[in-house]
Structure 1
Amino acid sequence: MYLTPIEAQEKFGYHPRTLARWAEAGKIECIKSPGGHRRYLASSIEQLIDGIDSRSVVLYARVSTRSQSEDLTSQIEYLGRNYPNCRCYSEYGSGLNFKRKKFINLMEKVAESEIKTIVIAHKDRLCRFGFDFVEWFCSLHKCQIVVLNNTYKSPQQELMDDFMSIMHCFSSKLYFLRRYEKDIKSTVDKMDKTNKT
């Protein structure tokens, strides 16, 4: 039975671009419809999947600031000891920010069915909030998230941790503003004096 790229994606979990690459490499059987659209032989995809799962296992480590680079190094070493010979994505950035460059790159690769497992040290290393959504998104693309230090927390503990994360984030921003408060006031005063004259 031949499947459209979307049908093949729904059945096997591989992105249409991945299927096209496999067809061009001769790994799966493909025909083109009179309109030029690809159709994939389901049995050839099944044979390829049964043979070798070519998707990657990757490690992901993150810290908020460069001053925590020692923690980042220890995370990478810890992950590498448990999963040797795997590519490691590491970056500096807030766990509240979903626009981190390597995080987005990782999620794109998950969406294209290029990654089968993401290994992290703690849940909050991947993201502070929305871990359940990220986990659901990954499972949708047949990708598993392995949390090495997955300690159980009660709902109250999780809520308190979330609250503390938010407070820390906002207090850091306030501290940043206070640091430049005198400069901002003097600039505003100068502008006021200039406008009055």
Structure 2
Amino acid sequence: MSRVYRIGEFAERIGRSVSTVRRWEVEGRISPRRTPTGQRYFDDTDVRRVLQPGFDESARRTVVYCRVSSPGQKADLALQVAAMEQFCRARGLAVDEWVSEVGGGMDLRRKKFLAIMDGVDRGEVSTLVVAHEDRLVRFGYDYLEHVAARNGCEILVANQESLSPRQELVEDMLAIVHSFSGRLYGLRRYEKTLKDELRGGDQ
């Protein structure tokens, strides 16, 4: 879904002044659309024309991303892909790229995930389809949605909770507990060391 910008918002988005945008319009370098009342407005296509000269708008892709946490979930991954194929057919959605990945939902360094988000950031992805929000990321989905919207990409969530294995959530929660336990242990050791040093200084 392409975002709509008023002239001031558009100028800020492309890093130029409002006067520069108005001058470009007079020179014919940009052609804003207008509301029935004559107010100018721009969208993400206009942003890309300025920031990415030569960008081919027709080359933007619809991508389906499927993910499971471990290699032992290959059957779950196949089920997820099949369900998403059915979902896209029912929506009449033409898919340009299917991406499947094995990796934890809390791991934001997944290679294929990063490649997709880089494409979103460059404006190359028009629609990103996932079975459930946590197939994309366990935490921080709202921020990714913001980044996508800022680049004219719609994240389409099928909301099929059955394709979000409960065991993965348990494993992710245990990983969080383990991480915080390690930090607390480290803080306790630091606190003890600090107290010992302070006592030594008092002697």
Matched, 1:2 2:29: yes
The one of 73, 77, 81 aligned to 2:86: 81
The one of 146, 155, 158 aligned to 1:136: 146
What secondary structure sits across from 2:48 in the alignment?
Answer: coil
Q: What is residue 121 of structure 2 aligned with on the other side?
A: 111
Higher relative contact order (CA 8 A, sep 6+): 2
Superposed CA offset, 1:72-110 (max 9, x none): 111111111222552111100011011100000001111
Q: What is residue 60 of structure 1 aligned with on the other side?
A: 65
TM-aligned CA deviation for residue 170 of structure 1: 5.0
Aligned-partner Cα distance in 2 for 1:165–1:16: 45
TM-aligned CA deviation for residue 114 of structure 1: 1.1
The residue type paired with residue 20 of structure 1 is G
How many residue pairs match? The answer is 131
Q: 1:21 to 1:167 in 2, by over 3 A?
A: closer
* TM score, norm. by length of structure 1: 0.56
Aligned 8 A contact 1:15 1:112 in 2: no
What secondary structure sits across from 2:107 in the alignment?
Answer: coil
TM-aligned CA deviation for residue 61 of structure 1: 0.4
Q: What is residue 9 of structure 2 aligned with on the other side?
A: none
* TM score, norm. by length of structure 2: 0.55
Superposed CA offset, 1:30-75 (max 9, x none): xxxxxxxxxxxxxxxxxxx6xxx44211100000000011111111
What secondary structure sits across from 2:108 in the alignment?
Answer: coil
Q: 1:78 to 1:11 in 2, by over 3 A?
A: closer
Aligned-partner Cα distance in 2 for 1:16–1:112: 13
Aligned-partner Cα distance in 1 for 2:66–2:43: 29
The residue type paired with residue 131 of structure 1 is Y
Kindly report the root-mean-square deviation, in angstroms, between the aligned alpha carbons of the 2 structures: 3.2
Superposed CA offset, 1:138-170 (max 9, x none): 00001001111167xxxxxxxxxxx85643325
Q: 1:82 to 1:167 in 2, by over 3 A?
A: closer
Q: 1:14 to 1:165 in 2, by over 3 A?
A: farther
More off after superposition, 73-82 vs 61-70: 73-82
Matches within 5 A, 1:41-190: 53-84=58-89, 85-86=94-95, 87-149=97-159, 164=170, 166-170=172-176
Q: What is residue 44 of structure 1 aligned with on the other side?
A: none
Q: Percent identity?
A: 29
Which ranges in structure 2 are unaligned for 5 or more consecutive residues? 1-27, 31-41, 162-168, 180-203
